[in-house]
Structures are given as C-alpha cells and as structure tokens.
Structure 1
Amino acid sequence: MPARIMDGTSVAASLLAETAQRVKDFVARTGRTPLLATALVGDDPASHTYVRMKSARCARVGIASRRVALPAETTTDDLVARIAELSADPAVDGILLQHPVPAHIDERAAFEAIAPDKDVDGVTMHSFAAMAFGEPGFHSCTPGGILRLLDAYDVPLTGRRAVVIGRSPILGKPVGMLLLARDATVTYCHSKTTDLAATVAEADIVIAAVGRPELVRGAWLKPGAVVVDAGYNPGNIGDVEYAAAEHRASLITPVPGGVGPMTIAVLLAQTVQAAETRG
C-alpha cells in the first residue's frame, strides 16, 4: 500500500490562519502592525523569487514587510552594518537574511548581527543554543516546520530511532536537537558516513536534508518508516527516491508541497511571536 502523504500545504494553511488571527489581535491591542525585514544581497533569481513569495505571504496574514536589497559587491562589513541598523530599529520585529549570500560574504558574521529577539529565522548561535537547551527562543524555521508536520500526523517520537542525513547549521543539526528534545534517539549522517544504507535501514524516521537528488534510495528504508524529504533540487526532485520510497514508507512528504510550505508558515508565526514578546 502506498504511503500516506504528509501534506505540508494544508498543515501550513492552518498555521497561517492561526497566525493571521494573532496579527489581528495584536493590531487591535497595540495599534501597530508586525513587521518582517528581509535583507537580500545580489541578483540571484531564485532568491528574489523567494523574497517576493515571502512578502506575499506576509501580506496575506497581515504582516508588513520591508525589503533591503543590496548589490552583489556588498562587503561583509556593509551587510553587518545594515543588519545592525535593522536590529536597532524599533519598528522591525523580525529579520530574515535571505541565504545563500554571495561567496565573498561571511554569512555567519552576518547572521550574528541579527538581534536574538528578532532572529525569527532561527539562524544565530543564540537561537541554536536556546533550542538545544530547551530555553525560550526561535527555532530554525525548516526544522520547526518539520516537527509541526510530524505532530500534525501524530507521529510518535519518544523512543523512536531518527536518522538525520545532513548537518547544516540551519537544518540538519537543529532538527536533530529538536528530535532529541522529544526523546527520539538521533543519528546524524553526512558525506563521510560509511554504509549510509545500513544506517537508514534501522530508522523509524528519516529526515533527508543534504541537497543531493534521490540520494536516499527507497530500497534502503525500513518498511513503515516515516520519511521527511527536506531536499529540493532542480526539476522538483527531493533527496529521496520518491517513487520507490512511497511503497515502503508509512508516511512521506512530497516535493514540492511538503516541508517548504511549513518553513514559511513557521517564519511568519515566529515573526508574530517576536512582535507579541516586544509588545
């Protein structure tokens, strides 16, 4: 029997509706509108498309958006200075640095210029530490969206073996920490892992987040595994061999329409959370 689809679009729609109501309540209570500022460096068409899409979603739930577009030759110091200005601006509730940035920019330095109380994308070291220690703060948006999606489909996490393929600081590492906090037993895999297939075969939950098309073969999966494909590659191809995986998994995310919508929904929910906290 084919796997059930974990429909990120519908789950995200519910979260966006909840967020829109929170925005209305916030505006009625404070007389101001939550504002998300996005810094965008360079002319990458995909990045510009993503920023336009996020602005449209902001408008749909009532969040104001501000785009700070910077030329490709912007230096790290210049970008850090602009982000610091946004961090100090009382009108700004959340800050998003659209990534990736041009190769000559120190992305980590730029991330760290974001004030922790405005880090609604969950990319700073402060946010990661707070998340890892279970303290108040913002989750990295894609990992946070993955956990919400698993919860929406009543996937039990306690005692389950979760294999995370990928160790990026804004996806692989934080999603493992969130799963660990929910009492899953977590194994990280990466480009240096030996016999990836054998490790995946033991997993109750597989999170594929490495950015290599169809790296995870369907035949590797334990029958009944839950598969979350957080990869997105040209041609709408994920990191999992979907056609084969859907006949072994119990639940699986599509690409697109799985993790992606959840990422944006969490970003907007956390922007409202930041506004509510700041008052």
Structure 2
Amino acid sequence: MAASWRLGCDPRVMRCLLGFGNCPGLVKGAAGWSLGRGASWRWYHSTQSLWADPIKILMPSLSPTMEEGNIVKWLKKEGEAVSAGDALCEIETDKAVVTLDASDDGILAKIVQMPNVNASWDGEGPKQLPFIDISVAVATDKGLITPIIKDAAAKGLQEIADSVKALSKKARDGKLLPEEYQGGSFSISNLGMFGIDEFTAVINPPQACILAVGRFRPVLKLTQDEEGNAKLQQHQLITVTMSSDSRVVDDELATRFLESFKANLENPFRLA
C-alpha cells in the first residue's frame, strides 16, 4: 500500500530532519492547515523561536500490583502549557482508572502513542520493536545503503541532522560498520535533491514502512491578509509518499501516522 500526501512547511525543518541543513530554533506558533489525501497542507501564520530541553514522562507504577497501564484519555493536548499538579491523562490499571498529574511546569511537547507503526514482519506475524531506529537511504558508487539513526526518539533535531551527515559521509566513503546499517525499524528515502517531485519507495524487509520524500517546489496560493483582502502568496510544497506492509500497518494505522506526521511538521517544537 502506498499513499501520497502533499504538504507545505518550513523547508529548513524538513532539511534538518533529513540531515541536509542546520536546524532552526524550535518553533511554536499558531498555524492553520487543510488536509486531505492528495491535497495540500498550507502554512498560514508566522512563528516565533522557542528552545527547550525536553523531559520524558514515562508510565509510572500506580499500584503495588501494576505491571502495565492503558491511557484511556489525554486531558492535555500537544503544545499546551502544563503547570505542576495539572492532570495530564487518565490511566487504566489492573485496579481502577486513575489520573496522572504533572510533576513540573512546562509544555507538553510530544505524545508518543503510535508504537504499532514501529514494527516489522518476522515471518509469522508483526513484531513490536523496542527502539525507533530510522534507516536513511544513501546513494553510493556501489549502490544504495541505509545507515541507521539509532534510538531516534531520544535525540534532538540537531543531533539527528549531525548523525545523518556523518553516517552519509561514512557510507559514501565505504567506511560504515555492519552495526551502522544492519537492522532499522523504519526507512526514509529522499530524492528531492535530484529534482524529483514525488515517487514511491520500496519497503526494506522485514521493515513495514518507508517514507519517500520529494523536492520542495514553490506554488502560488490565493490567501487573505489581515483585512480580508485576497492576495497571491508563494508557498513551499513538498510531497511525501509512505509505502507500508498492510500485514503490519493497515490503511487506518497508516493514515493516523501521516496525520501525526503532519501535526508534528505544523508544530516543529513537538520534535524537541
């Protein structure tokens, strides 16, 4: 299965994620988007810079016998300010449904709740993977190779960008170690630098997904200024296409993942 989505975003953020540019300051601001399969995602408002040091909030043990818990409902949204003592979410344990409170002030940057995409097919069925290891396709004189950004969820944007640059150079120089390209849980392939608008990439088994990234291209959109007057404004448009193994990631899950991908690009500070 493959689905193409077109979106507009700050090119610096995507280039940073793909390791082809320096990372801008993490941003927070109001943004509006229109969404549809094959439709454009539009950036409407300006942003302001915001730097932050993220803190992971892990599932706590809420009873002596609790071994796992299910998040029933989030009480705060991504990007929302949180004060110490505020209720973050409701968690169902083996005993009851309890509320998890924030331990400090801050902003809820990213809610990680789609682990089923980080899976592979082991020959008998889907296999959940413990770490998010992103394979990045790099073209070399000897063919395509995919060095891996290990535990990408624990890294910041600049660290990811630096890792992609360093591993890409090692790949082209033929100096990658086996552990630097074997494995991976999700792949990204970018042909934008070759002038390709959009394409469909082939999944690397046993992985379940690969994201194909095309080039940024300017388009003119009819928008309105603050006084409601119509005007033409230039936007940067990019098309990404995700191929997925439907035995592991079906249409519904793939769609929710792309919606989350869109939400993170419209609010890049979530990627802190």
Question: Is this a same-fold pair by TM over 0.5?
Answer: no
Larger radius of gyration: 2
* Greater percentage in strand: 2
TM-score (norm 2): 0.30
* Greater percentage in helix: 1
TM-score (norm 1): 0.29
